[in-house]
Structure 1
Amino acid sequence: MTLVTYSLQAGIALALMYLFYRVFLERLTFYRANRFYMLGYTLLALALPFLNTGGLWPKRVERLSATITRLGVETRHAAPILPSGELPAATEPIDWISYVLLAGMVVLSIRLLVQIFSLLRLWDEASLAGRDGRIRLFRLPYPLAPFSFGPNIFISPQTQDSPDLQRVIEHEEIHIRQAHTLDILLAQLLLVFQWWNPFVWLLNQSMRQNLEFLADQGVLDRGADRKEYQYLLLSVSGQGVPSISNPLNFSPLKNRILMMNKPRSGKVQAMRFLFALPLLVVLLVAASRHRPTPAGDGLYHFHGFAMDAGNLQPIAGVLITEKTSGGSATTDQNGYFRIDIPLGQVKDFLLINAIAKKTGFRDQTIQSTIRLDSTGAPATKGVLTDFGMAAEGPETHSFVTDQVVDNEPALLQKDPDAMRLAFNSEVAGQKEMTKIRQAFDSSPHIFYVIDGKSYVISEHGGFASVDGTVKTVFVNGKTPMTGEELNKRYTKFQVKSEGAYDAVVAKEKFGIDENVLVVNLKDEN
């Protein structure tokens, strides 16, 4: 997940949460419930992009479909398809939006640090005037409106000599005992990460205003005269105060006075909080929808079957190590293996470079280029990578091939019938290819068209193929020619490796919107 994606998803959730508060809850006098609503839904919105709530909803149980599709581009080879330098390089565009987001976060972080530093400087200049348990009263050397931060109350000399001192202390004591400083700090941190979101600035204002409603109501509940207390608020309006504190004169005072004079909301109106439940469901459903399904959960499932290239029987105990990710797996009794490769920040293409080892067999190299779609998930779902290992000895034939199954790859491990079907499909394909390979062995040609598919082969029997008749073959990755021209100029004994690209990759690499084949020739020296 990118910074932009996270910021957008969290920002949308915060906007919905704020709009709900503004429409249904803001004018109610359930200040404590409003506080917990804003705190709870804010934390939920920040966590939402990381949640996968798909497990909360009923799932459709599926079995693997009996349909097996051979990939349009496949490669079977005894050597790597192409050197790593021949694999398509993904260009990394500059992510200007992320840079802008980070720049804004830096600016707001500096702003917050300056505010904290200013508060600490005031604290350093103040003198302790009294203590009640953990609550401490500090006197400032110059006039500021009364405020609190943490367990500390700050007052000016004028306030200390005022007959309203007791009401001021009661107001700030309520902020302290209810830990309102935590709300203030959360709101400030939220501004750092969501500085671009106008709803978060409005939410910050509403959160702080609701804290003042709570403190005002607490003072009135202790027996303060309503009008005298409101005159006290008016008397300190306009005085300076640190922005990350709980100030007595937090504006707009008009709203505070209106809410103090408003009759208490009845129990029937508390039913409005039930409307927050549909909002919760919407957010949780969104979390289950924007998160990838198990087939695209931020991982590429590199899996398939290992078999003996000679008799097409599964091989158990083959150790497959994927070098790029460092992941490894050992084949089971069915020859099946699975390695989950984190996609992370991979863009456009995932380059797989694996090696398979088993005593009594030649090491098998497996290289593949997996194209990713715009969401960062594999463009082709359900790919099985199968390979046949050559036994030690004069026989050098081996192969690597891909097949596509209709449903999620994970179902293979749960469904023996599906496992057997996928393996038998590969065996049938290999038997068919044995007949085709006989045609290769009887001729020195490199390029063939057999049963509607185009092939290029190398000296040791490795080959690559694509569906249809290929018009262009690239020699050494740069010289285009037709298959007929290739057969006239070169023989398979001059080919060290071969490969195939589908139209999408070929367009990016060669500028040709069609399937192409590639051969790399041995050095003439």
Structure 2
Amino acid sequence: MLFPYLLKVSLLLGVLTLGYRWMVQFETYSKFNRLLLWLNVLAAWSLPLIPLPNWGPTRIQAEFHQSIPKIAQAAPAVKHKIAAYNPAPTVVSHQRLSSLNQKLKSLHVMQWLLVVYISGVLVLASHFFYQVGGLVWVLLRSPKEKSDRRVVFVRNLRSNSPYSFFQWIIVNPEKHQPGELQHIIAHETEHALQWHSLDLLLAELQRIVLWFNPFAWFHQKLVQANLEYLADRAVLDGGFERKQYQYSLLNAILCTTEVPLTTSFAQSLLKNRIKMMNKKPSHYLAWGKYALLLAVLYVSSAFVAPYTLTLVKLPPSILRPALKTLATNDKVNFKEVSSKILSLGPSKAESLIEELKKKTPETTKAIQPSRSKWVIKKNDALFWVISPLATLDDINEIRNEVKSFDAELNINSIEYDPLQSFIARITVHVNVKSGSSSTAKEGTDRYSPMKGESGYLTKSGSLGTGSVPNELEKQLQMDYEKALALSKKNEPYYFETRLMEKITALGSSSSHAFDKNTLNGAAAESAFRYDGVGKSTDNFLKLEPEHRNSELYLNSKPATFTELNSLSFDLVRSIKIIRDARGKKYMIVYTN
């Protein structure tokens, strides 16, 4: 999954980077451009992970995913005729070389690609840390002087050109005239105050991860240029004379040695920087370009976001009786009917299919045997259910059945209640050849069961959620009711878990518990002496007066001191006493 994700990120970053370069790079809204460059990175890395909402360009996405199989089927098979070439055989008798060749041949192409990719990341990451180490070394060894503008000046006599790194400004005063030095300090101070080094570090990290993508390198250059425009504009707005500032800039660039990961007064973008300094403020109509760029982002999301709904051109036979009700005439065109459903959008389409499924008469003669009680195969369709009481073995059996349909079911996350009695939350991802679907189900909290997850898929490549046969639906409902009963039964223990979380949030805590036998046996006297808990002579629970100030509970409900002292000892199952970091006591009495 790594390479498809990185390719989607690269595609989206390339589109957004080119859009920025062609449309808005030289507009004078440099502050907004900085925000836009951050947005480009955020969108490129997040959109491939986020399924499109109902208001997104889902129709474009659906048409795109439907067109790809058509194009692939229509394309003629290309067969290359390779001329026979039989060179004289070369005999290598070295056993180690032969063994190595066998191992190399056994490596999968994707494994080789992974090795190459990680190697590139490691090389660039090593270079990155070397650069950071060099900067830290300079900062540690050079004399420093703080200013009243929250920046620190670092005097480095080996530096030919000034630069800044976060709040540090590294400069060699002996290399510059007083007027030029004033321009340099003003420029680098703006870099430091606006935290431009953060932008450069983000762009550098992205370039390391996407080293194979030329747009990641280009994006870094665009970020660097925009930061210089921002600093130049801030200096000129501060009252410095434009021509003199540009002469200082030209003089500094003639003797520059750029330091990576830093913002420098002498960055070699002279022509464009002077162009931006002399440019009139952009017309308000230029905002139309930004709107167009956001539209490009909106449409591009359709090609990289996870595809969450796939409707087959020819629906499975179990759905056809119900789909006939949507046809406009007696001659049913199932492809046309499916297209109509698809045009409704993912959520409405899935709801409609679920309704149609309920109206579809059940057929038993087409049922095929299944190894899992949570899977039913009918005709060319497979229906699956994950109940709140499902074990990991149950889920593995479902996965194996799904594999028999050339599909894959993965559990992205699963969370049980604290007592591991039932599933409280689950996220399921199903992959088929033509698309994928991700769904999540959860209870009201981690102490309540989810209602169950279900879906179907066909050998022709369709998939969906819900809409399972009645027998599976009944099993699922029975398990959900059992899970609810367990949740109610375990409520006292859940209450204790919640209480302990609240107490430990305040600091350290201690606790100990007594069962009924302890309070009625040989250790009863010791328990009453040290913890003030025991059995009275008339067979009631007995608490010492010191517990009046404790926080008292009967099972999961608040209780009073008098109420607990009036409780029949025969009903007591166990008692737990907790002390928080402040010394406050909490007591929970559990009954049968």
| TM-score w.r.t. length of structure 1 | 0.53
Per-residue deviation, 1:372: 7.5
Task: Give 2:302's match in structure 1, choosing from 285, 292, 300.
Answer: 285
Mapped pair 1:193 → 2:209: yes
Task: Give 2:259's match in structure 1, choosing from 242, 247, 259.
Answer: 242
1:188-217 Cα offsets, whole Å, 9 max, x none, are: 001101111111211111110110011011
Per-residue deviation, 1:128: 0.8
Unaligned runs of 5+ residues in structure 2 are: 60-105, 313-345, 347-371, 377-386, 411-429, 438-455, 475-592
Counting matched residue pairs gives: 321
1:348 and 1:373 in contact (8 A); partners too? yes
What is the distance in 1 between the residues matched to 2:217 and 2:58? 39
Task: Give 2:167's match in structure 1, choosing from 151, 159, 165.
Answer: 151
**RMSD between aligned alpha carbons?**
4.1
- Secondary structure in structure 1 of the residue aligned to 2:280: coil
1:109-145 Cα offsets, whole Å, 9 max, x none, are: 1111111111112112221133225311111122321
1:3 and 1:98 in contact (8 A); partners too? no
Q: Which amino acid aligns with 2:209?
A: F
Instruction: Report what 1:323 is aligned to.
Output: 393
Q: Which amino acid aligns with 1:247?
A: S
Instruction: Report what 1:411 is aligned to.
Output: 466
What is the distance in 1 between the residues matched to 2:401 and 2:42? 27
| TM-score w.r.t. length of structure 2 | 0.48
Per-residue deviation, 1:158: 1.7
Mapped pair 1:263 → 2:280: yes
What is the distance in 1 between the residues matched to 2:31 and 2:401? 44
1:325 and 1:342 in contact (8 A); partners too? no
What is the distance in 1 between the residues matched to 2:6 and 2:161? 36
Instruction: Report what 2:4 is aligned to.
Output: 5
1:97–1:54: structure 2 CA closer, same or farther, 3 Å change rule?
A: farther
Q: Which amino acid aligns with 1:264?
A: P
1:136 and 1:151 in contact (8 A); partners too? yes
Compare the two structures and name the one with the higher helix fraction: 2
What is the distance in 1 between the residues matched to 2:210 and 2:402? 26
2:151 and 2:167 in contact (8 A); partners too? yes
Task: Give 1:101's match in structure 2, choosing from 102, 117, 122.
Answer: 117
What is the distance in 2 between the residues matched to 1:92 and 1:291? 31
Q: Which amino acid aligns with 2:178?
A: S
1:135 and 1:151 in contact (8 A); partners too? yes
- Secondary structure in structure 1 of the residue aligned to 2:146: strand
Q: Which amino acid aligns with 2:470?
A: M
Instruction: Report what 1:332 is aligned to.
Output: none
Compare the two structures and name the one with the higher strand fraction: 1
Instruction: Report what 1:15 is aligned to.
Output: 14
Q: Which amino acid aligns with 1:35?
A: R
2:374 and 2:472 in contact (8 A); partners too? no
- Secondary structure in structure 2 of the residue aligned to 1:164: helix
- Secondary structure in structure 1 of the residue aligned to 2:288: helix
Instruction: Report what 2:26 is aligned to.
Output: 27
1:329-364 Cα offsets, whole Å, 9 max, x none, are: xxxxxxxxxx689999x9978699xxxxxxxxxxxx
Work out which structure has the larger RCO, using CA pairs closer than 8 Å and 6 or more positions apart in sequence: 1
What is the distance in 2 between the residues matched to 1:270 and 1:144? 41
What is the distance in 2 between the residues matched to 1:99 and 1:93? 11
Equivalence map 1:160-175=2 (5 Å): 162-175=178-191
- Secondary structure in structure 1 of the residue aligned to 2:154: strand
What is the distance in 1 between the residues matched to 2:41 and 2:17? 9
Per-residue deviation, 1:256: 0.9
What is the distance in 1 between the residues matched to 2:400 and 2:195? 45
What is the distance in 2 between the residues matched to 1:270 and 1:412? 47
What is the distance in 2 between the residues matched to 1:153 and 1:190? 25
Q: Which amino acid aligns with 1:10?
A: V
1:128 and 1:136 in contact (8 A); partners too? yes
- Secondary structure in structure 2 of the residue aligned to 1:236: helix
Per-residue deviation, 1:231: 0.8
1:249–1:404: structure 2 CA closer, same or farther, 3 Å change rule?
A: closer
Per-residue deviation, 1:280: 2.3
Task: Give 1:254's match in structure 2, choosing from 271, 293, 296.
Answer: 271
- Secondary structure in structure 1 of the residue aligned to 2:466: helix
What is the distance in 1 between the residues matched to 2:108 and 2:459? 33
Per-residue deviation, 1:286: 2.7
1:352-383 Cα offsets, whole Å, 9 max, x none, are: 9xxxxxxxxxxxxxxxxxx98667969xxxxx
Per-residue deviation, 1:271: 2.3
Task: Give 2:228's match in structure 1, choosing from 206, 209, 212.
Answer: 212
1:287–1:52: structure 2 CA closer, same or farther, 3 Å change rule?
A: farther
Instruction: Report what 1:333 is aligned to.
Output: none
Unaligned runs of 5+ residues in structure 1 are: 61-90, 307-316, 328-338, 353-370, 379-401, 424-525
Per-residue deviation, 1:157: 2.8
Per-residue deviation, 1:42: 1.3
2:191 and 2:231 in contact (8 A); partners too? yes
